[in-house]
Structure 1
Amino acid sequence: MNKKDHSLLTRSFKNISVLFFIVVLLLLFVVILINVLFGIYTWDRLYMDLINALVGVMIPLVLFNFLYDRFTQQHKDRELSEKITETMLLDEQVIDRFSNDSKKAFIQKSTESILGKTVGNMVYDTLIQSYLSKSYQYRHHFKYYISYLGDKVTKTFAVDDETIFIFNPDDYYFVREDLSFERDITNFIQSNDVRIGFSYKESTLDGLYQRAEFMFRENLWVNEEHNSMLQELSNHEMEQFVKSFLQFTIEIDGEVVPYQVIHNEGYEGFHLLLDIPETLHSSVLSKVHIRFQMPQLRTQKKFIVMISEPTEDVEIMFMHLENEMEVEAIPFLNEAESITRLPNDTIKIDIHDWILPRAGVVFVWNDRQ
């Protein structure tokens, strides 16, 4: 039925109602006239009866109208609220017209309505609010390639032709890492405090996951002797260790990012303080690419990949020495994990979904006999 037909039908119903009302009035007038003419009713008595009838009807009529209007208005308010909510949920253009504070209040109330006030308020405060204020970032297209090398060559680190470290292949694996992802780095640029952290002990690394200024964190597992020697290096020597021995590089949108090595005395690890160029403001999602190599103790028969931020589309490749290591992947991810074993001693984890913070995978192994 089109709008024209609907309008005609509505007008017809109105005409019928008016005609019916006029017919009833005419019948009532005829009945009264007949009663008066035959002497059954007098005009005086009719006048008093009409007044009494009107007084008797007025009270219940007023009450009825009051209650009817009240319940009808409540129903209309509910319908209007439902229509507004439905429109906001389905029409992005309507949502965009509201202020940020109104949007946040709407999300909070909706969450509390669905989950209950206590749980909804907890979810909003702990998870949702930080994303609305853009204080919590997320990453896309996370690719992390870890390669354990089988070199049997002793690795040395020297400063001014003086050998400081000797990493014996009987005690250490040598690991190469290649990490890339896409991320909004606006907050990093504004903060002027963006770091990458290396720790000599797992307990020290764990504390870095609570600090938002760290873009990346990694374990550099060395023995106690090398741990002490690293802590005794000067800032200049530590910088040479990072740049020449670890060969650490970081690029953002293809531009090499300079960094300063922060080596605090007594701290079991070191930080790289990045100097991110302000010219990168133009990119909404910047591509971060990190490469380095490092020694890892053979006695530490595990490698931990920790997802520190909400991340979408994760690919992890762990390349190991199959003739030396029997590796098992233990994921603590969501139900969408996909683990496959590829040729060339490679374990691949490919997830086209969101991974929540502090999820990841642990690669553990035993030496082959």
Structure 2
Amino acid sequence: MERNKRLFEKSLKDYTILFLIIMLLIAVILVFVRNIFGSYTFEDFVNDFFNSLMGAIIPLIIFNILFEYLMRTHQSKVVQESIAETLLMKEEVLTQFSEDNRKEFLKNTAQSLVGKDEGEMLYSTLFVPYLSKSRNFRRNFKYYIFYTPEDKMRDLDQGARDLFPASDYVWVIEDLSYEKNVIRLEDELLVGFSYNEQQLESYFKNSRIVFRENLFLHEAQIQQMRAMEEAKLTEFVERSMQFAMEVNGVKLKVKGVIHENGGFVLRLDAQEAKFAEDGSYNRLKVNFRMPQMKAKKQFILVISEPTYGVDILFSNQLEQMNVSAVPFFDQDEIVESLPNDLTKIQLSSWVLPTSGVVFVWEEKQAALRAVDNVEEEASRAS
């Protein structure tokens, strides 16, 4: 700022001297012309010189006033643009301001771009949850889902086979991993399973819950699950479901499983987990298997947090099934069908919350009958 002021004063001085020299030069020329074409005494020279000098002072004053006004206006704009450019382009400058000032700057910027009310809406709904660190970001999201008939689950214990008969149930093997900037407030993390799809969100609204899943069961099996003592339920989770979770390569111990109105919650001991404390990403890995009703012929996967890089692999190993994927991502043409009834979805970009995919399937014979019926109706209509 001081440097700009010195440059301005020097520029004003230079222009003033230049203007004065020009005016004096004009006066000298006039005197020279009069001396050539007529008698000219020293007294005449002195009078003409002072008259010319006085005549130059008034224009000089007016010139200085106008020049100073124009230069100050221009200089003010230059300084404002310089400050704005510094704030917008240099991160090290922004970090010197307080957090509240930076948030206010972000809010004002949004309002200046789209309008006051619209900018307020964008700031409060999209920015505030992440600026307050109540929401997290994820990277390298990999989710592999395999629907497997019971006869292929060779290590499944007899108790689970009896509780979930093969005539009504299949087993779903899930393998999930991602990186997340988790902010651990407690030494315990939670994982929730819900019997009711509609209650999944309401029953497990807790910042410590890092994963939740629907567990679709018939009412008879739900009642048997609810009748289990917590120790027995914990044994079922560890033995039959083979639930395991790791944080940065450290396996978390299951402290216990507690019943909830709409399902049950796993309590995981995170005291020995080595969480990054500088806001960097932590690597989380979850894998388990669970029973699901055969009648529920769909699997819904929803991205709940902003995620960069998504890799989804779905396999339905049930015989005579046609699987269809219905994605709801911003990108198009992302579904890839692979051999052995595998369906792959891969994105190398940011995916916003509420994006996802629904896998649905039906028996091939039923699909063929539906096609035959359509063709028959078409032939009748013709």
**TM-score interval for Structure 1 and Structure 2 normalised by the shorter chain:** 0.7 to 0.9
Q: Secondary structure at the match of 2:330?
A: coil
Pair 1:350 & 2:352 matched: no
Question: What do residues 117-142 of structure 1 show as CA deviations (whole Å, max 9, x unaligned)?
Answer: 21112111111123223222111000
Q: Secondary structure at the match of 1:197?
A: strand
Q: Secondary structure at the match of 1:290?
A: strand
Distance 2:204 2:20 in 1: 77
One-letter code aligned to 1:220: L
Distance 1:74 1:92 in 2: 29
| TM-score normalised by length of structure 1 | 0.79
1:275 corresponds, among 269, 274, 299, to 269
Matches within 5 A, 1:311-330: 311-321=307-317, 323-330=319-326
Matches within 5 A, 1:152-301: 152=151, 158=159, 166-185=163-182, 187=183, 189-192=184-187, 194-207=189-202, 211-264=206-259, 267-277=261-271, 280-282=274-276, 284-301=280-297
C-alpha spacing 1:87/1:346, structure 2 compared with 1 (3 Å): same
Structure 2: gaps of 5 or more residues:
1-10, 366-382
- The count of corresponding residues between Structure 1 and Structure 2 is 345
Distance 1:202 1:176 in 2: 19
C-alpha spacing 1:211/1:29, structure 2 compared with 1 (3 Å): farther
Per-residue deviation, 1:30: 7.6
Distance 1:107 1:31 in 2: 68
Q: Which is further off, 26-35 or 141-150?
A: 26-35
Distance 2:263 2:304 in 1: 19
Distance 2:22 2:87 in 1: 44
C-alpha spacing 1:261/1:69, structure 2 compared with 1 (3 Å): farther
Distance 1:150 1:216 in 2: 24
Q: Which is further off, 219-228 or 127-136?
A: 127-136
Contact 2:189 2:267 in 1 (8 A): yes
Contact 2:169 2:294 in 1 (8 A): yes
C-alpha spacing 1:153/1:346, structure 2 compared with 1 (3 Å): closer
Q: Secondary structure at the match of 1:22?
A: helix
One-letter code aligned to 1:224: E
Distance 2:88 2:71 in 1: 26
C-alpha spacing 1:296/1:354, structure 2 compared with 1 (3 Å): same
One-letter code aligned to 2:329: L
Q: Secondary structure at the match of 2:166?
A: coil
Partner of residue 77, structure 1: 76
Pair 1:146 & 2:141 matched: no
Distance 2:64 2:30 in 1: 25
Q: Secondary structure at the match of 1:19?
A: helix
Per-residue deviation, 1:83: 2.0
C-alpha spacing 1:237/1:67, structure 2 compared with 1 (3 Å): farther
| TM-score normalised by length of structure 2 | 0.77
Per-residue deviation, 1:29: 6.9
Distance 2:162 2:69 in 1: 86
C-alpha spacing 1:171/1:359, structure 2 compared with 1 (3 Å): same
Contact 2:188 2:208 in 1 (8 A): yes
Contact 2:176 2:287 in 1 (8 A): yes
Distance 1:35 1:302 in 2: 112
Pair 1:26 & 2:28 matched: yes
> For the aligned residues, what is the CA RMSD?
3.7
Contact 2:163 2:221 in 1 (8 A): no
What's the % identity of the aligned pairs? Answer: 32
Q: Secondary structure at the match of 2:150?
A: coil
Q: Which is further off, 149-158 or 287-296?
A: 149-158
Contact 2:188 2:271 in 1 (8 A): no
Q: Secondary structure at the match of 2:129?
A: helix
Per-residue deviation, 1:113: 1.4
Question: What do residues 294-333 of structure 1 show as CA deviations (whole Å, max 9, x unaligned)?
Answer: 1110111100111111111000000113632111101111
C-alpha spacing 1:322/1:297, structure 2 compared with 1 (3 Å): closer
Q: Secondary structure at the match of 1:152?
A: helix
Partner of residue 374, structure 2: none
Distance 1:225 1:270 in 2: 16
Contact 1:231 1:268 in 2 (8 A): no
C-alpha spacing 1:116/1:193, structure 2 compared with 1 (3 Å): farther
Per-residue deviation, 1:88: 3.0
Structure 1: gaps of 5 or more residues:
1-9
C-alpha spacing 1:230/1:135, structure 2 compared with 1 (3 Å): same
